[in-house]
Structure 1
Amino acid sequence: MARNVVVTGGFGALGRVVAETFARQGDTVVRVDFAAQAPAGNEGGLDIPGVDLTDAAACENLVAQITGKLGGIDVLVNVAGGFTWETLADGSLESWQRMFAMNVLTAATITKAALEPLKASAAGRIVNIGAGAAIKADMGMGAYAASKAGVHRLTEALATELAGTGVTVNAILPSIIDTPTNRADMPDADYSAWVKPQAIADAIAFLASDQARAITGALIPATRGSEA
């Protein structure tokens, strides 16, 4: 049965692949992004650009728009986020606030707005993107890792909060993702060891499926490189 799937950060490298994966399954995909213009693709779906996911009112309006057009929300995938590398000594404390806003607040705000339609779904699913770096942070990763650790705690707490409903809440924890941006930033790295966006999208699709109905509150590492 076709579902309504919302992908935040849906215009980015990972978000586009996640959206395409659900669309191939026959789902109706809503790609949401802060960017002003949607990339090509998503035929039969809905693209909503220019959304500030840290703004509660904007998220409430977004959910109202989606439910008004599609009738409900079955799956929410929180891909939206950001990254920074800087040491505490040489970096800015504003980076800690920015990472919290981009990674934790975006997920919390849209999820809160979408809770009622997700609970009304026959099998609501929330999948967040955490980070392997938030398990043990390396130098320069403090602000990013702290914010992604917040996503992990949000995932666990919300899974318990929704235990009496049909909604599951899980997170995928990738290592380095093989994206054009990461390749440009690390040109001498071994890309074969990086996790491919499609592999992450496949794991998300599984967590959103009926086969994963018993899994909630899980933080699942995705660390293996592959050619897929």
Structure 2
Amino acid sequence: MDGRDKPGHDGVSIVAGRVFAITGAFGVLGSALARAAAAQGHRLALIDYAADAPAGLPSGGDVLVQAGVDLTAANAAGAAIDAVAERFGGLDALLNIAGGFKWETLAGGSMESWYALYRLNVLTASNASRSAIPHLKRSAAGRIVNVGSNAALKAGLGMGAYAAAKAGVHSLTQALADELKDDGVTVNAVLPSIIDTPANRADMPKADVSTWVAPDDLAAVILFLASEEARAVTGALVPVTGRV
């Protein structure tokens, strides 16, 4: 019996709870997702680049917190994911929430922004996914869920670098879905519009935030795609746009 199982009432081993690794788990969306996943009884690895976890995250024996992890480095990503599988006896779903945003015009900005947003969005998801694939193939229902962006479907002013990076996430999602379709591992992405976060409220103080996407609502879509019931969905880019 490994760390994923516990005895049932009839003595037969049953799965205690699916194991989810959440990157970017200390942010607004990552934290909302962690709380929602814990409420469903899943065991969690909460992975983030930040050195300190915020208050309010799930805790206890079913939670592994990994702070200060640089997922743009392949070795660091591999070590973090392997630690999850070692702690819980396997991995069922990788939820790639880690990412970054910057509004900047091409003429008035820096080319470094293009490299930075590629690293924060595409490279983090690629490194984490590559590290997770061997473990996910051993799951009865392996899942990868990425976070793309509705803005990448038609980029607006100042969104070039960000949209290009998120378009890369979309392509990664579709390519991985095809790569893993015969291994029982699904790969999908959510494409949110504006997420209701304190930072976005500060940047757009006059906006009608009731039209934005609530983090809890986006988390619910992600958890469905990570569920066993979503077995027939792979390679999908799912718009989650609220009323924007």
Give the alignment's TM-score, normalised by structure 2: 0.91
Q: Is the 8 A contact 1:169 1:216 kept in 2?
A: yes
Query: What is the CA–CA distance in structure 2 between the aligned matches of 1:13 and 1:50, rounded to whole Å?
Result: 17
Cα offset, 1:90, TM superposition: 0.3
Larger Rg: 2
Match of 1:22 among 27, 30, 37: 37
Cα offset, 1:176, TM superposition: 0.2
1:33 lines up with 2:51 in the alignment: no
1:89 lines up with 2:89 in the alignment: no
1:13 corresponds to which residue?
Answer: 28
Please list the CA deviations of residues 32-62 of structure 1 after superposition, one character each: whole Å capped at 9, or x if unmatched: 0000001222123111000000111111111
1:163 lines up with 2:178 in the alignment: no
Query: What is the CA–CA distance in structure 2 between the aligned matches of 1:225 and 1:184, rounded to whole Å?
Result: 20
Query: What is the CA–CA distance in structure 1 between the aligned matches of 2:151 and 2:141, rounded to whole Å?
Result: 30
Q: Structure 1 stretches (4+) deviating beyond 6 angstroms?
A: none
2:84 corresponds to which residue?
Answer: 66
Structure 1 window deviating more from structure 2 (32-41 vs 10-19): it is 32-41
Instruction: Look up the SS of the partner of 2:189 in the other structure.
Output: strand
1:192 lines up with 2:210 in the alignment: yes
Match of 1:182 among 200, 206, 222: 200
1:222 lines up with 2:240 in the alignment: yes
Instruction: Look up the SS of the partner of 2:29 in the other structure.
Output: helix
**What is the alpha-carbon root mean square deviation over aligned residues?**
1.1
1:49 corresponds to which residue?
Answer: 67
Please list the CA deviations of residues 143-200 of structure 1 after superposition, one character each: whole Å capped at 9, or x if unmatched: 0000000000000000000010110000000000000110011111110110000110
Structure 1 window deviating more from structure 2 (38-47 vs 115-124): it is 38-47
Tell me the matched-pair count.
226
1:143 corresponds to which residue?
Answer: 161
Q: Is the 8 A contact 1:196 1:225 kept in 2?
A: no
Cα offset, 1:106, TM superposition: 0.3
